[in-house]
Structure 1
Amino acid sequence: MSKAIIVVGMHRSGTSAISGLLDRLGIFMGKHLYGPQKGVNEKGFFENAKIVEFNDVLFDAKVQAWDDPYAIEQSESIDPVYASYENVASDLLRSEYQGHDLWGMKDPRTSLHLAFWHNIFSNNAITPHYLLMLRNPMEVAMSLEKRDGFLIEHSLRLWINYTLSSILTIRSAKHIVVDFNQLIANPEQVLADITKAFDLSGSAGASDFIEKSLRHNSSLVESDTEIGKIATALYQTLLQDVIDFQQVTNIAAQYSAIIEHENVLMRAHCHRLKQEEIYYRQCFLEAYESVWWKITWPLRALEKRLRKNKP
């Protein structure tokens, strides 16, 4: 039986930073990791590209996306749409992590498919240890506004979706919640907490990976909207040393009530737009991989060269 450290939580919450720390501990994070990206994650994502691609396939099957304001998983029961992907997921884990008794997996998208993945781990004799990264929702919203141009209210919804989906799934499993502020302020203590909670071996100097420069946005401002207040309440609840899961359940119910009472036509419209996006993206990929498209590559290369040399 292998042991896996599964990093979950919202994008821009420090999941890459904590995964870099795990890498420094000698935890294998996967064969196909994305490289660093200037201005986004200079030290690297420590994110397995194959897992990301597969999670996006799961989103397509559910007609959702990572930035879908209505994508949330609040039930431990598994959506039937996942059934046809179980063998693929098992094969993927074997391909990426076989031969490693201790390994890690990080992709924030996993948070929205967590019941599915938890079942896959169980079916493959993998003992998951979940690490939920937590960050002030307004800081996350500011980061997404800067990177993707998202509205603050949109980002706050995403933060709630990812955070609720994570905590409601992992509450009965081995887990630890790590706050981004604490990680930046005292990485040595966070490292000690993780190694103790998950029975890992420490590594001298591993905490040096965490630098204060990893923080690009900070905020003491809270949103006074209904969604903003729910995000703040959930954040403060999860910061406690002992989490009150009844309070988490109450917050989830309050959030669900808001979604249920929203304009049905708007939700249907968002769903329809996502269907069209998936359809045209798949059409493009099929065309891009076609023989006829590849035949044109030399011609386009020649055209580019001629344009470059044109006086």
Structure 2
Amino acid sequence: MAEGILKRSLSKVFGKKELTKAINVLGSGRCGTSMVTKTLSFIGVDIGNEFIETNKNNPKGFYEHKTVVEIQKQINALMKYKRPYSQGWQNNAKIKPFKEELKEVTREQFSGKRVWAWKDPRNCECIDLWDEILKELRMNPYYLIMIRNPIDVANSFKEAYNDKIEKSLRLWYMRTVVVLYKTDKNKRVMFDYNDFLDSGYNSLKEIAVTFELDWPEDEQTLKAKLDDFIDPGLRHLRTSMEDLDQDKDIEDKVKQLYYICLKASRNRKYFDSNEFETEIEHHYNTLMESGVKV
């Protein structure tokens, strides 16, 4: 017994080296992933550098790594934009060179960091590949999922890139279903875009508690940074649930997915429930049977 106590004591003092925490910021695009990625840096999360350039579509920054974006664009082109990708796609021999490139970028940028985060909407369809990369680099994945009313997502894509509404809705549905099906419920959080805009401080606090991150001692400075960065002008597209429900051009499955996601983002018990898991599994099976080219 004494030997066992000694081993436990030594473990606390000289315990196994803590794995680097890697926060995969996930969302369809135009749903607040840039905003939330930057705010993570306010609580000490390393978000790297070498980002794609800011432009009029996102004047405060995308916070997407140039090389990662370029590699994942090449993967999408190789897969002929037939998403979601089929089971085991990441083991395709043609994918291996891209995997090695992503591993190298990750190693160069974040090796030795205690906690880091990265974003690119293409992380959603590439999530299987990223999980393998992090495992091989001995990094511990966590998942920060952003959702938004699909009408507002589609209108934002239209406004920024002149994308067709139907395409944007398909993309929102596909990416949202995939990330919710493939992420570990014990290592994820989810926020609605408008809720994060309204309560960034509390949302960051939830992230820190769930992922066991350090919290800044100077909370007033943190609040000032949030107030300065989160732009009230971002609220200009804000469709009500009633408007979504009454829009006859949006498929019922898209509406239903957003309803349950919004509920889950506000109710942790429901988010972790078998009921929610069953709903997502149904959406995922439907998605895989039909396929989407976006």
Aligned AA (2:37): S
Correspondence 1:36 to 2:60? no
- Out of 133, 140, 158, the residue aligned to residue 171 of structure 2 is 158
In 2, distance between residues paired with 1:135 and 1:182? 9
Question: Which position in structure 2 is the counterpart of 1:189?
Answer: 202
In 2, distance between residues paired with 1:151 and 1:35? 24
In 2, distance between residues paired with 1:143 and 1:118? 30
- Structure 1: gaps (5+ residues): 65-69, 261-266, 271-311
Q: Which of the pair has more CA radius of gyration?
A: 1
Question: Which position in structure 1 is the counterpart of 2:13?
Answer: none
Normalised by the length of structure 1, the TM-score is: 0.75
- Contact preservation (8 Å) 1:82, 1:116: no
In 1, distance between residues paired with 2:236 and 2:70? 27
- Out of 45, 54, 69, the residue aligned to residue 27 of structure 1 is 45
TM-superposed deviation, 1:196: 0.7
Deviations 1:101-141 (A, max 9, x none): 21111111111111111111111101011101111111000
Superposed CA RMSD in Å reads: 2.2
SS of alignment partner, residue 29 of structure 2: coil
Question: Which position in structure 2 is the counterpart of 1:6?
Answer: 24
- Out of 152, 155, 167, the residue aligned to residue 139 of structure 1 is 152
Question: Are residues 117 and 172 of structure 1, via their aligned partners in 2, closer, same or farther at CA, if it must alter by over 3 Å?
Answer: same
Question: Which position in structure 2 is the counterpart of 1:224?
Answer: 248
- Contact preservation (8 Å) 2:174, 2:287: no
- Out of 240, 244, 251, the residue aligned to residue 283 of structure 2 is 251
Correspondence 1:207 to 2:226? yes
Correspondence 1:236 to 2:251? no
Larger RCO, structure (CA 8 Å, separation 6 or more): 2
Deviations 1:51-109 (A, max 9, x none): 11111121122122xxxxx4224757745242343322211211222232211111111
- Out of 194, 198, 204, the residue aligned to residue 211 of structure 2 is 198
- Contact preservation (8 Å) 1:185, 1:212: no
- Contact preservation (8 Å) 2:26, 2:146: yes
Correspondence 1:116 to 2:136? no
Deviations 1:200-241 (A, max 9, x none): 12232243232322234222222424x632111111112222
Normalised by the length of structure 2, the TM-score is: 0.79
In 1, distance between residues paired with 2:168 and 2:280? 20
Question: Which position in structure 1 is the counterpart of 2:139?
Answer: 126
In 2, distance between residues paired with 1:163 and 1:188? 24
- Contact preservation (8 Å) 1:144, 1:150: yes
SS of alignment partner, residue 22 of structure 2: strand
Is 137-146 or 72-81 further displaced after alignment? 72-81
Aligned AA (1:72): P
In 2, distance between residues paired with 1:88 and 1:34? 18
Aligned AA (1:60): A
- Contact preservation (8 Å) 1:28, 1:102: yes
- Contact preservation (8 Å) 1:130, 1:174: yes
Question: Which position in structure 2 is the counterpart of 1:57?
Answer: 74
Q: How does 1:220-299 map to 2 (within 5 A)?
A: 220=240, 221-222=243-244, 223-225=247-249, 228-239=251-262, 240=264, 241=267, 242-243=270-271, 244-259=276-291
